[in-house]
Chain A
Amino acid sequence: MTVESTAARTPRRSAGSKAGTAGAKAAGTTGTKRTTRTTAKKGTAAQQGADPELVQLLTPEGERVKNADYDQYVDGVTPEELRGLYRDMVLTRRFDAEATALQRQGELGLWASLLGQEAAQIGSGRALRDDDYVFPTYREHGVAWCRGVDPTNLLGMFRGVNNGGWDPNSNNFQLYTIVIGSQTLHATGYAMGIAKDGADSAVIAYFGDGASSQGDVAESFTFSAVYNAPVVFFCQNNQWAISEPTEKQTRVPLYQRAQGFGFPGVRVDGNDVLACLAVTKWALERARAGEGPTLVEAYTYRMGAHTTSDDPTRYRHDDERAAWEAKDPILRLRRYLETSNHANEGFFAELEAESEALGKRVREAVRAMPDPDHFAIFENAYADGHALVDEERAQFAAYQASFADVEGGH
């Protein structure tokens, strides 16, 4: 279970001979250097049948490859910022592993792990400005991290003490959305509001390959295109919607769907944090410049189960996962940092210590999280109040008080 450890320290058992051969090829990671944007103008019917290509700036081996279209978006990234991306990914994975462990210990009712999707989330999350707005699914723990949402805040709903609970406006990070795809419409509406306000902020909507089948996602594509809304649709295609593979959702590569709605779609190596950063920055720039929506398909892999309640051994083989382990997002950035001398042993050691400290903090915070007051049931059902809620709250209070009387009588 190497990938569930806190950080990529050494090449994994599967990283040798399999890398770049059958597994990588099957997954479509062929190290292509050509851009794969399809726009309403550029897209051709021929592309429909062609092998999908994806934007990649870092190979699984950690080699930096040139890309004429997207290099400009990461040329200014300093070694310190690279280390920052690495740190973000390592700490996110550590937090995620801790949450999985806390579920196993009975501290959380459920956890939806992002294991394997760190690059997609950190790359896109770090492309955002503070005034941009994020509409997540329930798995965007890495994006939340980038937005400065305290990771322990994410755990409330999984522990069952609230159904969200953070203030979306304090970090421009909307509550997690469990109903698949609903948030893409909220993101579109918010982006329409930005355009009405004359602001140059942008919105990013996260969703997955499963959600791509939802009508709401199609409607959000339609609305955003028609109103030219400044929104980036960031689809993490992690290959699995619980037990259903992507082939059960679509007959064309997902990024190509954008073409039919009249805006560009691009597939990016979702395990390449630099490529995700570059492509998202490009898409956000388009939004800010009034060029409308973009669909980014981050091609990645859900290394873990759908949630802690899921058993992936029923529907997929270990060798698939092993092939993706060779393309681990953290491992490849580490290799790049090491070969380019952008990080020394001290950095990795310090990060390991920080990572352990984060795990400890999360553990302690969750265990200390109190159950909500019983009357929280009635709180905030309405903003302006509601007579029936008031009446039922009073009945509930009287009912509870009746036990106090009995206990007092003993």
Chain B
Amino acid sequence: MAETVKNLAMAKAINESLRRALETDPKVLIMGEDVGKLGGVFRVTDGLQKDFGESRVIDTPLAESGIVGTAIGLALRGYRPVVEIQFDGFVFPAYDQIVTQLAKMHARSLGKVKLPVVVRIPYGGGIGAVEHHSESPEALFAHVAGLKVVSPSNASDAYWMMQQAIQSDDPVIYFEPKRRYWDKAEVSTEAIPGPLHKASVVRDGTDLTLAAYGPMVKLCQEVADAAAEEGKSLEVLDLRSVSPLDFDTIQASVEKTRRLVVVHEAPVFFGSGAEIAARITERCFYHLEAPVLRVGGYHAPYPPARLEEEYLPGLDRVLDAVDRALAY
């Protein structure tokens, strides 16, 4: 590789990561709808079929269960398929294969069989899309033992977390925050990445911890900037992994700040924030000065695009939760 540090949009970073995986491991395959000539509807697989051929970058029939089900068979044969589900709302035909087969086969074989399958899902809203194109179903996967669930927030993590997801011998659901696809960041292709399931502290603070992943990390950083102007010092965690969750990093932060607000686009009810709140309450009961608060979507179908600004967590809604937590 000529350059080792590049300024890349997240979509391009994932593309380069996939390219690297295809180059270094002949068993890696890309599968999905329109991933070939078109390069995917978000162009994440742009140019890969041209360079690696139709046998490794595979345009599939429009059948999500078939995509994941055949990927399982290919993994049993020794391949490492990286499958693309075109949009979050389209994963559900494959949900049966993911939950009943992909997640359980390793355990059912008493460890004899490994299923290194990565399921890429562009997710989340904020792009003014039509129905079924803006959802955040990560909790539905985190609830299933046997799956790992991750979501990068920036181009560098997107690059390295994809490398690690492909190398993982467990199935990984890799949620790509589509509204951040075009955000650029420096990506070092020779960095030594931290563990895939470790959260990172992206901003130090003392008064309250904001925990987020994927598309909401950038928002939380903006919230922290705004709060700083009011003299409040917020710590921001990029959780990066939803299953497993890095509770140690959250706990360490909350023991310092004593207040926690969790932010995600997914509905709050039974969302990952609920699990974080419960566990952090157990771990940090005597440190907490306020209940753990959550900011997220409502228990209503994802609204039409003209309403999504009201549905999704924004700067003011998160700041409001920060104020409420600090008021205790």
Contacts and interface: CB of A to CB of B under 8 A. Distances in A.
A175 B115 CA distance: 14
Interface in B140-174: 145-146, 148, 168-170
B47 interface: no
Given A189-B70, A196-B55, 17 more contacts: A165-B110, A167-B109, A185-B66, A189-B77, A192-B73, A193-B77, A193-B78, A197-B77, A219-B61, A222-B63, A223-B63, A379-B107, A381-B106, A382-B146, A383-B168, A383-B169, A387-B247
Contacts of A187: 73
Interface in A365-395: 379-384, 386-389
A162 B110 contact: yes
A193 B69 contact: no
B60 to A, nearest CB: 7
The CB with the most chain A CB atoms within 10 A, among B69, B70, B78, B246, is that of B70
A365 to B, nearest CB: 18
A182 B77 contact: no
Contacts of A174: 76
Nearest to B60: A223
A182 B96 contact: yes
Interface in A160-191: 162-169, 174-175, 177, 179, 182, 184-191
Contacts, number: 146
Interface in B76-104: 76-79, 93, 96-97, 100-101, 104
Contact of B70 (A168, A175, A192, A389): A192
Contacts of B71: 189
Size class of the A contact interface (CB-based, 8 Å): 35 or more
Contacts of B306: none
Contact of B61 (A162, A186, A196, A226): A226
B96 A164 contact: no
Contacts of A219: 61, 63, 65-66, 69
Interface in A103-117: none
Contacts of B37: none
22 contacts: A164-B108, A164-B110, A165-B110, A166-B109, A175-B108, A182-B96, A185-B65, A185-B73, A185-B97, A186-B73, A187-B73, A189-B69, A190-B74, A191-B73, A192-B70, A192-B74, A196-B55, A196-B79, A215-B93, A216-B97, A379-B107, A386-B243
A382 B113 contact: no
B113 A169 contact: yes
The CB with the most chain B CB atoms within 10 A, among A186, A223, A381, is that of A186
A168 B105 CA distance: 11
A279 to B, nearest CB: 24
A239 interface: no
A220 interface: yes
A190 B170 contact: no
B114 interface: yes
A120 interface: no
Nearest to B104: A163
Nearest to A156: B110
A194 interface: yes
A67 B103 CA distance: 46
Given A168-B109, A380-B110, A182 B69 contact: yes
A169 B112 contact: yes
Interface in B173-220: 197
Nearest to B146: A381
The CB with the most chain B CB atoms within 10 A, among A182, A384, A389, is that of A384
Given A189-B76, A219-B61, A167 B69 contact: no
A189 B111 contact: no
B76 A168 contact: yes
Of all A-B residue pairs in the complex, the 3 with the closest CB atoms, nearest first, are A189-B73, A185-B69, A193-B77
A191 to B, nearest CB: 7
Contacts of B111: 379-380, 383
Contacts of A162: 108, 110
A188 B109 CA distance: 20
Interface of B: 55, 60-61, 63, 65-66, 68-79, 93, 96-97, 100-101, 104-114, 145-146, 148, 168-170, 197, 243-247
Contacts of B79: 193, 196
Nearest to B168: A384
A98 to B, nearest CB: 24
B55 A164 contact: no
Contacts of B78: 193
Nearest to B55: A196
A189 B111 CA distance: 21
Interface string A234-270: 0000000000000000000000000000000000000
A192 B67 CA distance: 12
The CB with the most chain B CB atoms within 10 A, among A135, A220, A383, is that of A383
Contact of A382 (B55, B63, B170, B246): B170
Nearest to B147: A382
Contacts of B168: 383-384
B243 A388 contact: yes
A384 B170 CA distance: 7
Contact of A381 (B74, B107, B246): B107
A190 B109 contact: no
Nearest to B103: A381
A188 B69 contact: yes
B109 A220 contact: no
Contacts of A188: 66, 69-70, 73
Contact of B244 (A179, A196, A386): A386
B76 A379 contact: no
Nearest to A226: B61
Contacts of A386: 148, 170, 243-244
Nearest to A390: B244
A187 B139 CA distance: 30
Contact of A182 (B97, B170, B245): B97
A381 B74 CA distance: 21
B74 A175 contact: no
A58 to B, nearest CB: 34
B110 A185 contact: no
Nearest to B68: A185
A383 B170 contact: yes
Contacts of B169: 383-384
B65 A190 contact: no
A186 B107 contact: no
Contacts of A388: 243-245
Given A179-B101, A383-B111, A220 B66 contact: yes
